[in-house]
Structure 1
Amino acid sequence: MLDVHRLRIFRSVVASGSVAAAASNLGYTPSAVSQHVTALQRETGLTLLERAGRGVRPTAAGLEVAAQADRVLARLGEAEAVVADLRSGRTGRLSIAYFASVGAAWLPRVVRRLTADFPGVRLDLTLSEQIADDPDARPDLQVAVAQTGFRAGAGFVAHHLLDDPYRAVVPADHPRAAAAEVDLADLATERWIDNDFARGWCRRNLLEACTAAGFSPRFDVEAHDYPTAIAMVRAGVGITVLPALGAVDLPPGTASVSVVRPEPVRSIFVVVRDAVARTPAARAAVESLQDAVAAGRPGAGPRRTLPTAGVPAATP
């Protein structure tokens, strides 16, 4: 039987790179840490660490044991969280998945209401771009992008939240910065900044619209997310095109313009598991999302911020 305490100490040694550093982090003496690691090696019958300069590094067997220890300790952490919930009177749990721009724009409102109105419910929040194929792997609620007419599948219901049109984010001194809209084809010769490292549905939707407009955008720079791409725009590197929800709070020196002819649009849904759909917390979460949409629909008009004198290049 492996000792969980020794697994924790061993993982600290692996993460720290030395027995002395692990001892300092844990508040133990180096001798005590060494004794626990030696005991773990005796229990497993494996050599888990080897010397590396002034420190240590895991052997191949040590790496595998460390990976298994991570899983054990994570599961133990979940069990400890449940026990803590029960002790404090929290007996419910609601899991919510969301994608990045929703996390910034809508999720704070949802979490604020749920924590205020349902202090007995633990919220499990997960960043996720895709709806899992396996129904058992899905959270209780998931805010997701899907095509119009999306069906949630057996055991789930989908509520349409928003049709989110795309906008071109350009430097504030760009010739089209003050325009209400721009034809997608007119952006064909621009220097494009990619903003979707995951190559997800939102990017594919944009590329499909560009194809319909008769061109394929040339991505000169690849950014991994919307904020980095917008920072690149502010620095004068090029333009980026993204859903309006990602362009709500633009920094000084940038502007956003509606993209039309064709107008790429993504549809946003909240998918709710039937088993929790009628619970007060789940209903409040859906209502809060709908309120957030109603309170600040993006894309209602040109959004821009005026340049300031000597605006420096943004750091990505």
Structure 2
Amino acid sequence: MIDLLGLRILVTLDEEGTVTATAARLGYSPSNVTQHLRRIEGTLGMPMVERVGRRVVLTQRAQDLATRGRPLLLEIDDLAASTMQEPSGTIDIGAFPTATRGLLLPAMAALGREHPDLTVELHELEPLPALEAVRSGRIHAAIVKTWGSAEDPEDTILTRIPLGRDPIDVLVPSDHPLADAEYVHFHDLRDQVWALTPAGEPSYRVWFSSHQKAPALRPRRIYEASEFTSLVSFVAHGLAITAIPRLGRAPLPQGVVAVPLRHANAFRSISLAVRRTSQGSVSIQALLHALRAVTWATGDETPLTWSASRPSTDRADFAELPVDL
């Protein structure tokens, strides 16, 4: 028979790779962890670990136990969290960089004031690794994005709670012919020089490429840079135009104008991903309330939209943006 502590040690050892790191994460001494491993081996009559260099790895039998036991432990942890009356303890949250700046940090400040017994640990992660971290229990929640109208894949472990839509603006130099436009369509942007994230980048660049062919944008040239701030710098120097979402966007430099892009897919959907078994936790609910307070959201079923006006900061005004269907 294997008890819950023994199962937790196997799962943690599988993730950490050393007895010392496992002990530190669980709050035990290395000798305690070793004793529990020996107890499991004695009970089951087979070895649980084998040494590979300076690390230890689980045997195949132990790996099978850890794989089957991981979701059970997460469900037990989520069940325990659901019995709490007030938000407390530590909640680990993953977020991509612009969501960190524009959404999570203001929410963390509010949580600190309203729930002083709740500690937030921030992990800056892009959506795919953040979702995997929530799924495996390394973090409790993640703020994630989906570009345009792409549908999220079915997931039996996670649920995504909508937070809002993040509109995309086209940034142009102030002396550009489109700088005074109320909004632009993709077909207004033909034969331009663009600054974009690198080819093959799995979110922004895929979104742009999906529109590049349909309206025949025919970019005269494409400069590439990984960070949004660098893309803005291309525009500030009069070298290119770009398209960037508003959430977490720094104030635009002088000489750069943001013009709303009018299209049905000119937005990112922002949502909070949590395990289905944890969404009733008071700490998760407190986090959700704080995030929605930042976005000024008013209802569970109506994700709102960051302003369609020309913001120079990351302020959210939530005016609905008309779209071409």
Pairing 1:1-316 to 2, within 5 Å after superposition:
75=21, 79=25, 92-132=89-129, 134=132, 135-136=135-136, 139-146=139-146, 147=149, 149-150=151-152, 153-195=155-197, 199-217=201-219, 219-245=221-247, 247=249, 249-261=251-263, 263-294=265-296, 297-303=305-311
TM-score, normalization by structure 2: 0.60
CA 1:108–1:188 in 2, change beyond 3 Å: closer, same or farther? same
Shift in Å, 1:225: 0.9
SS in 1 for 2:188: helix
Relative to structure 1, is the Cα distance of residues 163 and 228 closer, same or farther in structure 2, using a 3 angstrom cutoff? same
Cα separation, partners in 2 of 1:225 and 1:273, compared to 1, 3 Å: same
Report deviation, 1:289: 1.5
User: Structure 2: which 5+ residue stretches go unaligned?
Assistant: 1-15, 30-86, 298-303, 314-325
Give the Cα separation in 2 of the matches to 1:74 and 1:254. Answer: 53
Tell me how far apart the structure 2 counterparts of residues 293 and 157 of structure 1 sit (CA, whole Å).
20
| Counterpart residue type for residue 257 of structure 1 | V
1:97 deviates by 0.9
Q: 1:286 to 1:298 in 2, by over 3 A?
A: same
Structure 1 residues 149 and 262, CA gap change in structure 2 (3 angstroms): closer
Counterpart secondary structure, 2:208: helix
What's the TM-score once normalised by structure 1's chain length? 0.62
Distance 1:75 1:196 in 2: 37
Contact kept, 8 Å, 2:157 with 2:275, in 1: the verdict is yes
SS class of match (2:101): helix
Report the aligned-residue RMSD: 3.4
CA contact (8 A) 2:191 2:217 kept: no
Taking the aligned partners of 2:199 and 2:291, their CA distance within structure 1 comes to: 26
1:192 CA displacement: 0.6
Change beyond 3 A, Cα 1:76–1:187: same
Identity of matched residues, %: 22
Q: 1:143: Cα distance to partner?
A: 0.9
Preserved CA contact (<8 Å) 1:98 1:142: yes
Q: Distance in 2 between matches of 1:98 and 1:298?
A: 18
In structure 2, give the amino acid aligned to 1:300: A
Deviations 1:204-227 (A, max 9, x none): 112212222123545532111111
Q: Provide the rounded CA distance (Å) in 2 between the counterparts of 1:198 and 1:116.
A: 42
CA contact (8 A) 2:184 2:260 kept: yes
- SS in structure 1 opposite 2:309? coil
**Cα pair distance change 1:299/1:195, threshold 3 Å:** farther
CA distance in 2, matches of 1:77, 1:253: 55
Residue deviations 1:47-71, cap 9 Å, x none?
A: xxxxxxxxxxxxxxxxxxxxxxx98
When residues 182 and 279 of structure 1 are mapped into structure 2, their CA distance, relative to the original with a 3 A threshold, is same
The worse-fitting range, judged by mean Cα deviation, of 135-144 and 167-176 is 135-144
Matched residue SS, 2:308: coil
CA contact (8 A) 2:165 2:270 kept: yes
Contact 1:114 1:281 in 2 (8 A): no
Closer, same or farther in 2 for the Cα pair 1:236/1:158, shift >3 Å? Answer: same
SS in 2 for 1:110: helix
Contact 2:172 2:240 in 1 (8 A): yes
- State how far apart, in whole Å, the 1-side matches of 2:89 and 2:252 are: 38
Structure 1, unpaired ranges of 5+: 1-69, 84-89, 306-316
**SS of alignment partner, residue 289 of structure 2:** helix
Q: How many equivalent pairs are there? A: 230
* Aligned equivalents of 1:123, 1:82: Cα separation in 2: 23
